[in-house]
Structure 1
Amino acid sequence: MSSLPGRLGTVDPTSDRAVFRQIADQLREAIDRGRFSEGEKLPSEAELVEHYGVSRMTVRNSFSVLQGEGLVHAEHGRGVFVRPRQPVRRLASDRFARRHREQGKSAFLVEADAAGSHPEVDSLEVKEEKAGRDVAVRLGSSVRRVLARRRRYLLDGRPVEFATSYLPIDIARATRIAEPDPGPGGIYARLEELGHRLDRFDEEIRARMPSPAEVRTLRLASGVPVIHLIRTAYDTDGRAVEVCDTVMAADAYVLAYQLPAT
């Protein structure tokens, strides 16, 4: 006798929908409704075979569907578990507020503090290089070379995003911005100290599936997309002083905005 009727239903053999997809649908709904909580182990193959009266291959195909959607992950010899989903709220309308820089906090540190998480930056690279076409267009046609700052961000040891900031050489060369640690408040605080008082940030955001390199860098589970964000920072003279190209694990963030109604 199956022990799962309170959590899972039965399949309809007369349905046009494949049985393995029906099982995946029921497991997905049970996860969404909290019948299986984050980090909890799903019923074993044997339990689902008994409950639904299907083959092991059918159950494995159901698990594959959920893994492809990023809802579960398999641990060899242990079973299949519901993936934890504890996204950071990225408060786009507040994260670059000047008061945070004046307190010596970068935008990522602000988010980490709000989430109660431990932030880290690794894989840091700072170097001068030729401006790519898209970066040159955003920074201005006269910009030929840039200072590039590449880094990966971790929360509680988990990679959640990696970003590259591109700054015009005439602004960044031989300043703290060119050092691995730019100091309290990050590069935006240093830009303002150099006389480039920030006026606005323009952001373009899209969702897409990750490249193989992005999967490796962010250690993404199968089926998890990324958020690709390109931000351009402008000073009060209207000059573009930075372009930041960021790729984020989509399951790690909620993008939150406050928009005026006037």
Structure 2
Amino acid sequence: MYRRVKELGVVSEGILIDQIDPSSDRAVFRQIADQLRQAIENGRLREGEKLPSEAELIEHYGVARMTVRQAIQELRNEGLAVAEHGRGVFVRRRPPVKRLASDRFARRHRKDGKAAFLAESEAVGAKPQVDHIAISEMQPPQEISERLRIAPDTTVVARSRRYLRDGHPVELATSYIPVEIARGTQIMEPNSGPGGIYARIEDQGHTLERFVEDVSTRMPTREEAKLLNLSAGTPVFRLIRTAYDLEGMAVEVCDTIMSGDAFLLSYELPAH
């Protein structure tokens, strides 16, 4: 597939053009990774397309196999490429970017019977899906009880789930809700009903007034990487959101882990 063209020094149809600069103080494997990365970023290597083989890269650059493998590993660590056993290394397919905008919890979406994830997915023309739903009563972690302003030994309802967009897992979320709000409602059922759990909270007389979110980044745990199908080197966002009603009561805390390459955080902030 990738043809050697000696007079131009390229592999296939212009995918790799430059040669190694022996006078550079940048390691050879990093130079190779730089060129492959550039080919991915400018579209010469497209999502799902196979990278040149080790043999082709060795011939093109005139380097040792270990050097080529280090270059490929660099791209895998960055989450740009994935290896498929027996098939080769491919440019990683990325789910469409979802704009995590500041109006995603607007009441108009709940009135239309849409939870936030459904509304967001529809906005980008994607098909939403929820699985791995688990509901239990438990004593929450200390960080959660502090945000809910409850005693550490207080029982809450925990509702965890995984979100997928067009079949790609992108988000893990666990909501913690006071039992006096959740017990006996559809929050305790796998299908929380039109508008999601925020609509059910408002059904209980707790009109939502504001949300406070704290966002951080880190590398995923092994379990998170497995559930989100993350390749090596892909970080996650951790977003902790606290929902308050008109009386200032914290009525829910949602602890969310989001695939770092599936989201763009986008907020509109007033200047006054």
TM category (shorter chain) comes to over 0.9
Aligned to 1:174: 184
Displacement, 1:100? 0.3
1:115 deviates by 2.2
SS at match of 2:99: strand
Q: How far 1:88 moved relative to its partner? A: 3.0
CA contact (8 A) 1:23 1:62 kept: yes
Check if 1:58 corresponds to 2:67: yes
| Stretch deviating more after TM superposition (46-55 or 181-190) | 46-55
Q: Partner of 1:65: helix, strand, or coil? A: helix
Query: Aligned pair in 2 of structure 1 residues 164, 226: CA closer, same or farther (>3 Å)?
Result: same
CA distance in 2, matches of 1:42, 1:120: 31
> Which residues in structure 2 correspond to 1:67-146 (within 5 Å)?
67-142=76-151, 144-146=154-156
The answer to whether the 8 Å contact 1:88/1:111 transfers is no
TM-score, normalised relative to structure 2 = 0.92
Equivalent of 2:32 in 20, 23, 48: 23
Whole-Å separation in 1 of the counterparts to 2:200 and 2:28: 59
Q: CA RMSD in A?
A: 1.5
SS in 1 for 2:102: coil
Deviates more, 1:1-10 or 1:41-50: 1-10
Runs of 4+ more than 4 Å apart: none
2:246 is aligned to 236
Q: Which amino acid aligns with 1:259?
A: L
Q: 1:87 offset after TM fit, Å?
A: 3.4
Q: Percent of counterpart pairs with the same letter?
A: 60
The superposition leaves residues 16-52 of structure 1 with CA deviations (integer Å, 9 ceiling, x where unpaired) of 2221111011111221122212222222222211111
Q: What is the SS of the residue equivalent to 2:11?
A: coil
Residue 11 (structure 2) aligns with = 4
Show CA shifts across 1:115-171 (max 9, x none): 222211111111111132111111113471100001111112221111100001111
Question: C-alpha distance in 2, partners of 1:195/1:73?
Answer: 49
Q: 8 Å contact 1:89–1:256 — kept in the other structure?
A: no
Of 219, 222, 225, 1:215 maps to: 225
* 1:184 is aligned to 2:194: yes
Pick closer, same or farther for the CA change 1:86–1:154 going to 2, 3 Å. closer
Deviations 1:41-80 (A, max 9, x none): 2222222111111122211111001001000111222222
Give 2:270's aligned residue: 260
Give the conservation status (yes or no) of the 8 Å contact 1:109–1:119. yes
Q: Secondary structure at the match of 1:181?
A: coil
Larger displacement relative to structure 2 (87-96 or 106-115): 87-96
Distance in 2 of aligned mates of 1:39 and 1:216: 20
Gaps (5+ residues) in structure 2? 1-5
C-alpha contact (below 8 Å) 1:88/1:112 kept by paired residues: no
For residues 270 and 54 of structure 2, the distance between their equivalents in structure 1, rounded to whole angstroms, comes to 51
Alpha-carbon separation, structure 2, partners of 1:3 and 1:72: 21
Answer with 194-203 or 131-140: which moved more.
131-140
**Residue correspondences, number:** 262
In the superposition, the TM-score normalised over structure 1's length comes to 0.95
Q: Which runs of 5+ in 1 are unaligned?
A: none
